[in-house]
Each structure stands twice: as C-alpha cells, then as structure tokens.
A and B are shown apart, each in its own frame.
Chain A
Amino acid sequence: MGRKPKADEELVFNRLEALRTKAGITRQQLADAVDVHYQTIGYIERNEYSPSLVLALRIAKALNKKVEQIFSLEEN
C-alpha cells in the first residue's frame, strides 16, 4: 500500500524479497542494517519505490551480493 513516490520515473525492478528470504533475515533486520525504516524495505520489495544508489549499495552489501544481482531495469 502507498503512493509511488517516483511515479513519473522509471522503476527499478528487484529480487530483494527472494534474496532476503533466502538469507533468512526479516525486513526489520535488513532495515536496521541499511539504516532505513522497515516499511521502506517493503516498498522496495513491492517495486513501489526505487532506492537511491547509496541505499542500493548498502542493501547489496548487507546481503553480500552485487547490486546487479538484486536490482535490474527489466523485470525478471
């Protein structure tokens, strides 16, 4: 639920939910690791919000993945 903050812009797709679940961590734990609110992780997972480059890099680091393994311009 929630308005898409960047409705006018192209969205970035991601595999965040699958990778997070595979890593066995909750949204809250990931949010704590990258210093955002847990609901922001939810918005990103539902493709309702495209994170900044800094946040994308932080998420990739927290999940021990490369950014391109998580985020992409095409829907997988």
Chain B
Amino acid sequence: MATKKILDSDSDVKVKLLWRDVKSAENHRGLIVIKDDRPGKPIVTWLRTSQFFDGMVNTPARILINVMSILALYVWTIDVANKEHNLLAWVITLIVLLFLQAASVRFVLNTEGIADEFQETRRNLAYRRAYRTIRRIALIPVGLFAFLVVAGPHNDANLLWDFVAYRLDNYRSLTLAIFIFAVSSFQKYFSYGWIGEPFTVREKSSIKD
C-alpha cells in the first residue's frame, strides 16, 4: 500500500496519510481521514470517525453499550454482592460505561448539542421515561414492606428487618448503595432507547433524495 508521510515541524507529530483513505475521501463526501501515530490515538480516532460506530452515536454502538451496561448493572452486581469480591473492578466498569452512555447520546442530553425541536422532544421523552422508571423502582421496597406489614403471612415487619440484617453486611450495604446510585444514573440513558442518535456534529449529509 502506497503511503505518504508528512512531518509537522511545529508539533513534531508524524501524520501518515494512507493513499487508500485519500482515494476513499475523493469518492466519499470529501472526507479526509488522517491517521495519527501517537499511542492510542488511532483507536480513539477510529471510534470517533468509523462508519460502524459513528462516534458511538449510532444504533450498533448503542446496542453494544446498552448490553454491556445491563450486564454490568443487573448481572455482575449479583455476583459482586453474593461472592463479595471484584467491587473495585465493578465500580470502574460502571463508571466507564456511564461515560460511554453519556458520549453516546451527547448531542441529545447536553443542552448545547440540541439541534432542533425533534431532538428536544426525544430528550424530554427520555427524561420522562427515566423519572417514571426510577419512581417505579423506588416503589418496590415500599410495596414489599407494606405487603409484609399489612398482608404478609405473619403481618410482621420484623421479618423484613431480620432478613435485611442477616444479608446486609458492610460490603453488601456498600454494593447496594452503589447499585442504587448506578441504577438511577443509568436510567436516562436506558430510557433513550436502543436506536442510535441520527444527529451528529459532522457536516450536513450529502444524501440527495
């Protein structure tokens, strides 16, 4: 593959222009793809500009991020709480996924990124769904408590407190607290759905319809 190297004297950064990309740019929307040699940069550049991930805003990227988030939030949590291990790795994973989610819908949930009324509507709907879901989740323990006290087999709230005291040591209490915080933090992104954000900051489409 023929390559052309350009040395930038100011920043001393080697920029490699792949001839294939230049040819591709000529054929597609005038987009010029620049490969950067700095460590990690090619991956970041690929994530931001690849047709597949489209800067992590399109549907395949959202499906991937959502699946990972659901697994980390609802499956891994059980393992962390039961076996009382991997808490730090779990927390770091949740934080990374939260950032990925935020990046994935950044054009919608950030007010500055709102392009038009359609996006605003979609964002507001996501928030409404998130609040509704959080409200329902919050009602579960209240409902359980009410059931045990009022209609439970022994009409005895102490059963619940005994169970909680038996199951919740410090480690599990911390896990539960992180889980509750994570569930509420992830809801607005889950509510946004699996369909990717069609709006990007790129130049306007060249679609001639």
Contact = CB atoms under 8 A, between A and B. Distances in A.
Contact of A3 (B119, B122, B205, B208): B122
B204 interface: yes
Contact of A36 (B116, B125, B198, B205): B116
A54 B207 CA distance: 26
Contacts of A55: 117
Contact of A51 (B117, B119, B125, B205): B117
Nearest to A20: B209
Nearest to B197: A2
A38 B117 contact: no
A28 B203 CA distance: 12
A66 interface: no
A35 interface: yes
B42 interface: no
Contacts of A43: 118
DSSP majority for the A interface?
loop
A40 B193 contact: no
B207 A28 contact: yes
Contact of A35 (B116, B121, B205): B116
A3 B193 contact: yes
Nearest to B122: A5
A1 B118 contact: no
A47 to B, nearest CB: 13
Interface string B117-150: 1110110010000000000000000000000000
A2 B205 contact: no
Interface of A: 1-3, 5-6, 26-28, 35-40, 43, 49, 51-52, 54-55
Given A6-B125, A37-B198, 6 more contacts: A1-B198, A5-B125, A26-B207, A27-B209, A28-B207, A49-B121
14 contacts: A1-B195, A1-B198, A2-B198, A3-B125, A3-B193, A5-B122, A6-B121, A26-B209, A27-B209, A28-B204, A36-B118, A37-B116, A38-B204, A43-B118
